[in-house]
Structure 1
Amino acid sequence: MTELATFGAGCFWCVEAVFQQISGVSKVVSGYTGGKVKDPTYREVCGGRTGHAEVAQISFDPEKVNYTELLEIFWSSHDPTTLNRQGADVGTQYRSAIFYHNEEQKKLTESFKQELDVSGTFDSPIVTEISPLEVFYKAEEHHQNYFNLNGGQPYCQFVVKPKVDKVKRVFANKLKTIGDS
């Protein structure tokens, strides 16, 4: 049985590339959610006029990777303490956000965030938005599988690749192997 998780952690190309590496993840779709405009375009979202966040929607098999493990990867792969920015990407569309699909995800997300705040894992408080998923809009086709198709581009080399490399190093035991989905 496949479940869904929807995460925003800056540019969706980064989030997509990170979670494509994880065993038990069968599909990752870049898109938009959390805004007020129906069927937004990339240009509209990047202009900061729609209220949407760039997100990746992750299809996963909870028997191979559970939601809590995905949360661990999510919080480790970006800076959840910076409001409306990740590195040079600035604006509400780049906010750290988790859009939960059910009450169990909400409970697990809030509990994990509280544990991180109490533990002092981060030097500053976590500002990750935790909201119910209302509507997910798939991004334009040229944004899908972006890092795998455009890995040589400067943004991919200097922004996406270091995040992917970190996840490969820190979560080596959770990576896909040949023939794995």
Structure 2
Amino acid sequence: MKQLIILTISLMISINSTGQEKALATFGGGCFWCTEAIFAALKGVDTVESGYSGGEQANPTYKEVCTGLTGHAEVVQITYDPQQLQFADLLEVFFATHNPTTLNRQGADVGTQYRSVIFYHTDEQKRIAELVIKELGREKIFDDPIVTELSAFQTFYKAEDYHQDYFANNPRQPYCNAVINPKMEKFKKLFKEKLK
């Protein structure tokens, strides 16, 4: 994949310096174990919780979400400090660390629960995400069109406790070794200046 460069986008986006102490971002980029591990390593990120958003059923379980019938995506909800990290920075990491061009799949993980999705919390987040997606398409950063869903945030259901900090707690688990470790190594090389 071509190197992801969002410098031009950052220059086009007006920085929101409202003095806001904490902000939320909610992303789905495939398996939440991978996504959580990546965002938890960023400077300016306070917490990352794995969970479910975008479906119809209240309080879904992992087993129910895995059927693909609840409409939820596996997501991470990120609490971050907008004085240290902008929403555009989070989007840069988001688009660089998953494939936003495959509909309802990330690698071997297939189903609507693995879709690429941004659940925006504010009109400003929506505007920035639309701008980033448009610019990535214009610059032809990816060989195929971006299919990332952009939806208004409604509800976040925190996943079961054993899903939280999964990679940190299970580094030798086969999925972690085969999928998350290589992704983390790539991420650390691309974003070493943004790591905690």
TM-score normalized with structure 2 length:
0.89
Equivalent of residue 114 in structure 1, options 112, 115, 134: 134
Matched residue type, 1:67? F
Query: What is the deviation of 1:165?
Result: 1.3
Count of aligned positions: 176
Deviation track 1:46-91 (CA, whole Å, cap 9, x = no partner) reads: 0111000000000100111110000000000000000000000000
Match of 1:160 in 2: 180
Matched residue type, 1:10? G
1:104 partner SS? helix
2:50 partner SS? strand
Matched residue type, 2:165? N
Match of 1:138 in 2: 158
2:130 partner SS? helix
Query: How do 1:10-49 and structure 2 match up within 5 A?
Result: 10-49=30-69
Query: What is the deviation of 1:127?
Result: 0.2
Equivalent of residue 76 in structure 1, options 96, 109, 114: 96
Match of 2:16 in 1: none
Match of 1:94 in 2: 114
Query: What is the deviation of 1:162?
Result: 1.5
Deviation track 1:77-126 (CA, whole Å, cap 9, x = no partner) reads: 00000000000000000000000000000000000000000100000000
Rounded Cα–Cα distance in structure 1 between residues aligned with 2:79 and 2:135: 25
Match of 2:79 in 1: 59
Rounded Cα–Cα distance in structure 2 between residues aligned with 1:42 and 1:60: 25
TM-score normalized with structure 1 length:
0.96
Runs of 4+ in 1 over 2 A off after TM superposition: none
Query: What is the deviation of 1:45?
Result: 0.2
Tell me the percent identity.
Answer: 57
Equivalent of residue 128 in structure 1, options 148, 164, 168: 148
Matched residue type, 1:121? I
Structure 1, gaps ≥5 residues long? 177-181
Instruction: Supply the RMSD in Å over aligned alpha carbons.
Output: 0.5
1:163 partner SS? helix
Matched residue type, 1:137? Y
